[in-house]
Amino acid sequence: MNIVILAAGQGKRMRSDLPKVLHPLAGKPLLRHVIDCASSLAPQRLVVVHGHGGDAVRNAIDAALPGNDLGWALQSPQLGTGHAVMQAVDQLDDAAPTLVLYGDVPLTTRDTLLRLIDAAGPDRLALLTVVLDDPTGYGRIVRHEGRIVGVVEHKDADEPTRGIREVNTGILVAPTPALKRWLAGLSDDNAQKEYYLTDIVGMAVHDGIPVDSVQPGAVWETLGVNSKTQLAELERIHQRNVAERLLDDGVTLADPARIDVRGTLACGRDVSIDVNCVFEGEVSLGDGASIGANCVIRNASIGAGTQILPFTHIEDSTVGAGARIGPYSRLRPGNRLGDGTHVGNFVEMKNVQMDAGSKANHLAYLGDATVGRRVNIGAGTITCNYDGVNKHRTVIEDDAFIGSDSQLVAPVTVGRGATLGAGTTLTRDAPPERLTVSRARQLTVESWKRPQKAAKATK
Ligand code: UD1
Ligand code: CA
């Protein structure tokens, strides 16, 4: 299989400096949705035709997919879909058919494409068509006695032809040597002065090559993005599809219309997710995990039975089983929290390893720290990990107790079973099993009197 993805169009109606095909859907550029689906078909050649924002498009894709073996073909100026495919033909292998996709049609499924490829076989032309209530703007599928005889663009169509509701989606499979021959014969003698790819359909009929059609599983598979409105509509369709898949897999969703997955979300059994949660990158939720309302979780693995309470942000971290995080916790990148850990409101953590059974229940900043088992970290504790130039590590050993409002000036170690008194500013290691406290001794000044206001003179 050869695959050509047309992505040279301008996308004026997006009203954006970003090339249209780089606008994200579910956190991923439109073009990458198409490339990923195309790649899943394991083509021997995959060529992207680019034009508008040319280098930006290529650079963005190369950065996201290092070492890819995409072929690129520049189309400048853009003289139509047929002209676009012409720019790619010398990269196509004659021994395999060619599938044409659009870079701004992101939701076509692999299953639909496999059916189209199957219908084309090695030597037929196959078009993906849909029947629309309002076919305005699309190329119409003209049939004679049931057989496709041509595609007529809306702008070139007469009234009876405009009445046809079966339209061309633009996605097709053609035998490659014939495709090359037909493209070489295209002209731009039409309403738009463009080289229409769709004119190859009439040429195939003329050459006696059978033309078949296949319909997608759903119309949204063929919808393209030309405006922010259409982008938003496709985003909702995609998210609804993701939510339906999660429900089918047995995940409880408080509201399938209020979850956004921008990446992959893998769930165990009996997972439940409350409203307005956003999952980004690769996230996995273990059996029985529950996610409270309004959480944002990115590249994280959450253990079985763990509760993530509302308004929690988690990024690039792993949380063990039976833990409780939130409400209002923030896990920045690099945390590994063990089983049964508790992290409470307004606790920020970055690059912390915290072993089983340890707790930081309220108001703390823990950065670059190694925390053992069963450690209790009091409210207001801060690891001073940064001296303005370098980051340093704080080590807190098993069963230590950190009194409230302590500052641990790293590098520093709190020994096993040690207790820090509240308000301690720790600048040297605290020995195991001892109370360490650094604060001015409390004293009471017996002779002190509050200043008195002078009595006002009265008349
Ligand atoms: C095309 C089809 C039409 C079909 C419709 C479906 C032709 C002549 N018409 O219409 O039958 O119903 O798609 O949406 O093929 N592109 C390029 N270079 C160009 C022109 C377009 O790369 O010079 C790309 C665009 O970026 C886009 C795709 O081709 O991804 C389709 O272009 P667009 O202008 O949206 O389609 P139409 O020509 O209107
Ligand atoms: Ca056009």
Domains of the chain: 2-222 (3.90.550.10), 228-436 (2.160.10.10)
Q: Determine the atom of ligand 1 nearest the C-alpha atom of 199.
A: 8
What's the mean pLDDT in 226-248?
98
Please report, rounded to a whole number, the percentage of residues in the chain having pLDDT higher than 90: 96
**Which of 81, 198, 225 is the best mutation target for the ligand 1 pocket, counting ligand atoms within 8 Å of the beta carbon and taking the most?**
81
Question: Which pLDDT does position 397 carry in this prediction?
Answer: 98
| 362 catalytic per annotation | yes
Phi and psi torsions of 320, nearest 5°? -75, -165
CA–centroid distance, residue 88 to ligand 1 (Å): 16
Q: Which bin fits 232, alpha (ψ -120 to 50), beta or left (φ > 0)?
A: alpha
> Residues 180-209: what's their mean pLDDT?
97
Q: What is the pLDDT of residue 455?
A: 86
Give per-residue pLDDT as tens, 80-108: 999 999 999 999 999 999 999 999 999 99
Catalytic residue among 154, 313, 362, 392: 362
pLDDT one-digit tens code per residue, 104-150: 999 999 999 999 999 999 999 999 999 999 999 999 999 999 999 99
The set of residues, in sequence order, having a beta carbon less than 8 Å from that of 15 and lying 6+ positions away, is 228
Atom of ligand 1 nearest to the CA of 226: 35
CA-based max dimension of the chain: 119
- Specify whether the CB–CB gap between 130 and 138 falls below 8 A: no
- Cα-to-centroid distance, 80 and ligand 1 (Å): 7
199 C-alpha to ligand 2 centroid (Å)? 14
Q: Is the pLDDT of residue 370 over 70?
A: yes
CA of 368 to the centre of ligand 1 (A): 53
Block residue for tokens 């942000």:
313
> Ligand 1, closest atom to CA 103?
30
Where are the alpha helices (H) located in 174-304, listed in sequence order?
176-184, 199-206, 228-248
pLDDT of res. 459: 66
Start-to-end Cα distance in the chain: 106
Mean of the pLDDT values across residues 348-377? Answer: 98
Residues with CB under 6 A from ligand 1: 6-9, 49, 75, 78-81, 83-84, 102-104, 138-139, 151, 153, 167-170, 196-198, 224
